[in-house]
Chain A
Amino acid sequence: MSEEIVARRLNVRFDGRSALEDIDVRIPVPSVTIIIGPNGAGKSTFLRTLIGSVRPASGSVEVLGMDPATKSDQVKRAVSYVAQKERFSYPVPIKVSEVVMMGLLVDKAIPRVHGKVDDRKVADALHVVDMDSYFDAPFDRLSGGQQQRVLLARSIIRKPKLLLLDEPFNAVDVLTQCAIIEHLQRLRNSGVGILLVTHDSNPLARITEYVMVLDKRLVGFGPPRAVLKQEVLAQVYGGAAKVLDGEPCPYVVLGDIHA
């Protein structure tokens, strides 16, 4: 099985409008890759194309050697995706443990019965994201950051080879953000690939291996030092983007908003 994500002349359209144009990219797995770009740049669309939820208009994608369009089930078993979500809108009374249990039960046969071993796995997954004391807590009583951590636990309990995260730091305070980044680092070290959409690359500077800059088309891809350059970012953010040299990689300031 090829350990990479490959897009070849990938085009995606919604209602005749282009969302992604001629994307050619090869992302090694495992790695930590961040996707940046302005609103409407196709960042979320790219992630959703990788799990087969969005079909390419032309071109192709390959995830870990599989085509998501034809092998959607296999791809979804190997890849965990956490959608962009600040709050859940529907009034479903559900406990934290039940949310995480979803990650286990979806791979079991209907009627998806769970046992004590599964409860232990859920507790372990919650421990990884420092939420073990919230096992029986109602999910809708948690803060945005805590919810994000629970969703992360739901993703990692499936032991994915690749984790796709769409803006995981929305509504997350700095401390929680640091905790999540720690967990991502540990996952990366254990061989999990991480592809993450964000508006702020700076908090992830310590663990980022590749940066993908999107603005419907691929503006840049490569290690942070090769991509986070004034001339590259100017193509998507105009003069508002400023790149400050730093360690371990450059920092980006977009007006007064980080990119």
Chain B
Amino acid sequence: MSLARTSFWVIYMLDLLAPFLVRAYVAIVLSAAAAAAGAVAVLRGVSYLPAEASHAALGGVSIAVFLGFILSVDLDPFYFAILFSACSAVLVAYAGGRLDRDAINSALGGVMAVSLAVYALLRALVPANMKTVIDGYLIGDILILTTKDLIQLGVTVLVAVFFEVLFYHEIMYICFDAEGAEAMGIRVKFYDYLMFFLMGLSGGLMAKVFGSLLVFALVMAPAAAARMFSSNVKNYLINTTLLTVSLGFLGLFVSIVLNLPSSGVIAGFTSAAYILSLAYSKAVRQK
């Protein structure tokens, strides 16, 4: 009872339209749109890809910060992060060939190892005040995003969503039956590279918002949970987006009330949603 009363007073006292909160709302909506890429990754059988790509973002950020340090120029780490994430995902697609699972897993591991090695090496070579920029991509904080960050995220999400909507049918056909799609004249290799690029891009975006350590919980968990109660691909993409938005807002408010880190609480809710939906799905199947 006292917790409920405290929660009420915290929310009552808090200006829900405070700029830092409004920016967090926008970030959650943008992240939800990016989470649709997590759903595509589940459909394509490469669920881990966005999370791997978000780790690759660390390598990109480290390079940007290191180059900025030695050349004494101001390089925006965001572009390096998303470019590195997207390119690493495309590299996985290339190394994986015809989506052989073993080859994909090896490529995922290899690319992640290289990215983290770059991150660990270059982070050690820059001054302490620059390390915080790099570490911001390791454990992010949705409450400290700037308007510039949101514009960058918004434009990138728009680009990703545009291509996902435009090539919705191609993506669905290839996920369902790549060999059949190719036999019908769809250029599977081209769309596969595009799909991997967009998944990588989304992973990089999520690293900026929540930090790469939590991307798995924020991209894959809602997508895996939504899969259990979605009857077709369109519903699935919509359910994933709605679930991410709902859990994002829920986690944000709970984190404020309990004075806990927002990204961690949101990730906790998405993970719980996944576990509950898994248990529900098993229970339904056993009936």
**B interface residue numbers (CB < 8 A to A):** 42-45, 165-170, 172-173, 175-177, 179-186, 227, 230-233, 235-236
Contacts and interface: CB of A to CB of B under 8 A. Distances in A.
A93 B227 contact: yes
Contacts of B230: 93
A99 B231 contact: no
Contacts of A227: none
Contacts of A111: 165-169
A93 B186 CA distance: 20
Contacts, number: 83
A90 interface: yes
Contact of B166 (A76, A82, A110): A110
Interface string A63-81: 0000000001100110011
A90 B182 contact: no
B96 to A, nearest CB: 14
Nearest to A112: B169
Contacts of B45: 89-90
B99 to A, nearest CB: 10
A138 B230 CA distance: 11
Given A90-B45, A111-B168, A138-B232, 9 more contacts: A51-B183, A83-B183, A89-B45, A90-B43, A92-B43, A93-B233, A98-B232, A106-B173, A106-B186
A102 B231 contact: no
A91 interface: yes
Max chain B C-beta neighbours (<10 A), residue from A91, A99, A111: A91
Contacts of B227: 91, 93
A151 interface: yes
Contacts of B42: 91
Given A73-B185, A77-B185, A93 B231 contact: yes
A103 B184 CA distance: 7
Given A111-B168, A138-B231, A93 B236 contact: yes
A83 B169 contact: no
A53 interface: yes
A199 interface: no
Contacts of A138: 231-232
Max chain B C-beta neighbours (<10 A), residue from A80, A82, A89, A92: A92
A118 to B, nearest CB: 12
Contacts of A95: 231-232
A82 B175 contact: no
Interface in A89-134: 89-95, 98-99, 102-103, 105-107, 110-112
Contacts of B176: 88, 90, 92, 94, 99, 102
Contacts of B165: 111
A221 B183 CA distance: 26
B233 A53 contact: no
A83 B176 CA distance: 13
A89 B177 CA distance: 9
Interface in A120-165: 138, 151, 154, 158
A154 B176 CA distance: 13
B44 A83 contact: no
Contacts of A158: 184
B168 A90 contact: no
A121 to B, nearest CB: 16
A77 B176 CA distance: 20
A93 B232 CA distance: 5
A136 to B, nearest CB: 9
B183 A91 contact: no
A77 B185 CA distance: 7
Which 4 residue pairs of A and B lie closest in terms of their CB atoms, listed nearest first? A76-B185, A81-B183, A106-B184, A92-B176
B44 A76 contact: no
B34 to A, nearest CB: 21
A106 B184 CA distance: 7
B45 to A, nearest CB: 5
A80 B184 CA distance: 7
27 contacts: A53-B179, A72-B185, A73-B185, A80-B183, A82-B180, A90-B45, A90-B176, A91-B42, A91-B43, A92-B43, A92-B175, A93-B231, A93-B235, A98-B232, A99-B176, A102-B176, A102-B180, A106-B173, A106-B181, A106-B185, A107-B185, A110-B166, A110-B170, A111-B165, A111-B167, A138-B231, A154-B180
Contacts of B184: 76, 80, 102-103, 106, 158
Contacts of A151: 180
Contacts of B173: 102, 106
Contacts of B185: 72-73, 76-77, 106-107
A90 B175 contact: yes
Interface in A4-61: 51, 53
A91 B166 CA distance: 22
A95 B180 CA distance: 16
